[in-house]
Every structure is written in C-alpha cells, then in structure tokens.
Chains A and B, each alone.
Chain A
Amino acid sequence: EPEVTQTPSHQVTQMGQEVILRCVPISNHLYFYWYRQILGQKVEFLVSFYNNEISEKSEIFDDQFSVERPDGSNFTLKIRSTKLEDSAMYFCASAGLVGETQYFGPGTRLLVL
C-alpha cells in the first residue's frame, strides 16, 4: 500500500541553525501539507501546497518557514533559524483531492537545543 515517508526520523539541532525536513508524498497525490505537534499538545496545521505554490498557511508559518517541491517526488519544509519552541514532531501529509483522506507520514521529531 502506498505511504508517505519522511526523513530523518529524528533531528537534533542547535538554536539558530537551519533544518530541512523531507517528505515523499504518495505518488499520485496533488495536495501536500505540513503539520506539527508539540509534545503533549494537539496537531496543528502549518501549510498546504498545491500546484507548486503555497495555498494556505497558518499564523505559525512565519518567515522562518518555507516549503518546496524541488522535484517530482520530494516535499520539504525548511526552518531557517530554529528556535527552542520549534521543538516538535513535524508531520507531512498528502491527499489526492481536496476533501479526501489525508495520509500522514511517520513524522520527524525535531529537538532544538
């Protein structure tokens, strides 16, 4: 069964460093999303991406964040200068159509020291 994959599974970084989180969505899906979950809290929407551009973003997704689909398979989230409060589990999700099931990847646990 097709699945969303994410790398790395864990990332430890120093405050102020840049990190890139990678995702490979399900191959025939068109809609891509990033969410995050701070430990013990609920999952929060960050950004949606369709047709090679951001279609919607939350207040969390400030200028420190960017997304890219550099080729036909990868979807990346970059945090330019990490802060302590960026420590969280980051989930990528994809869907074939708007309003259809969103399939989530296993997540990248980011720890900012």
Chain B
Amino acid sequence: SQQGEEDPQALSIQEGENATMNCSYKTSINNLQWYRQNSGRGLVHLILIRSNEREKHSGRLRVTLDTSKKSSSLLITASRAADTASYFCATDRVRGGSQGNLIFGKGTKLSVKP
C-alpha cells in the first residue's frame, strides 16, 4: 500500500495567492514531515508535526494533521516565485523497533507565476 500520497500532483498559482497541498497516509504514524525540493536538488526540511499535534506554523507555512482521517495539509500563504518547487510529505510509521525511516509520497509540483 502507498504511504504518503500527495494531491494535487501539480498546482499552478499566481504570486500572492495561497497554495494548499494535501497528503494522505494509511498507517499510524509517529510524525509527519514536509520537505521541499527544487528541481534536481536536495531535500529541504520545512516542518515536522507529531501525531499528538493538530497544527503548526513556521513563517508563511501552516501544517495541519488529522490523524482520524490520516491526512495532512501544507498551506503556503502569500506565495512567491521562489516557492516554485516540489513538496513532499514523509511519514515515520508506528512500528516495533522503528528507527525513524521515512516513507515519502510522490509529491506536489508547485509552480508560482510572477
């Protein structure tokens, strides 16, 4: 089964608009992390939200987590052209002896037009 599925797969917005990306997962998690990846580059950590948290903020980013629906959302407010990138959610599943390895989704490709 797929763990960490983002939607939409691609999102195109104008600068200044808000962008919302969603992530669904199938098994219980310890935490969920959001990462950004510029084309062909490394993964930049954005936010970690734990299973007992419902919402976290970091600058223009807002992440929510609904463990009953097994879903999370990432909201970027007042988007900028520099926010153009792929965004991934990654889950740390609840397992005996878990060493924290992350399961990534396929990502949402965000394009912010100036």
**A: which residues have CB within 8 A of B?**
31, 33, 35, 41-45, 48, 50, 55-56, 58, 89, 91, 93, 95, 98-107, 109
**With A and B bound together, what is the CA distance between A73 and B11 in angstroms?**
40
| Contact between chains at A103 and B101 (CB < 8 Å) | no
| Contact between chains at A101 and B45 (CB < 8 Å) | yes
If A42-B107, A105-B42 touch, whether A56 touches B30 (CB-CB below 8 Å) is no
**B: which residues have CB within 8 A of A?**
30-31, 33, 35, 40-45, 48, 50, 88, 90, 92, 97-107
Smallest distance from the beta carbon of A40 to chain B beta carbons, Å?
Answer: 10
A-chain residues with CB within 8 Å of residue B106 when the two chains form the complex: 41-42
A-B contact count (CB 8 A): 67
| Contact between chains at A56 and B41 (CB < 8 Å) | no
B-chain residues with CB within 8 Å of residue A95 when the two chains form the complex: 100
Report the nearest B residue to A102, measured CB to CB.
B102
A-chain residues with CB within 8 Å of residue B102 when the two chains form the complex: 33, 35, 43, 45, 102
| Contact between chains at B42 and A101 (CB < 8 Å) | no
| Contact between chains at A91 and B88 (CB < 8 Å) | no
**With A and B bound together, what is the CA distance between A56 and B99 in angstroms?**
7
**With A and B bound together, what is the CA distance between A104 and B101 in angstroms?**
12
Smallest distance from the beta carbon of A65 to chain B beta carbons, Å?
Answer: 15
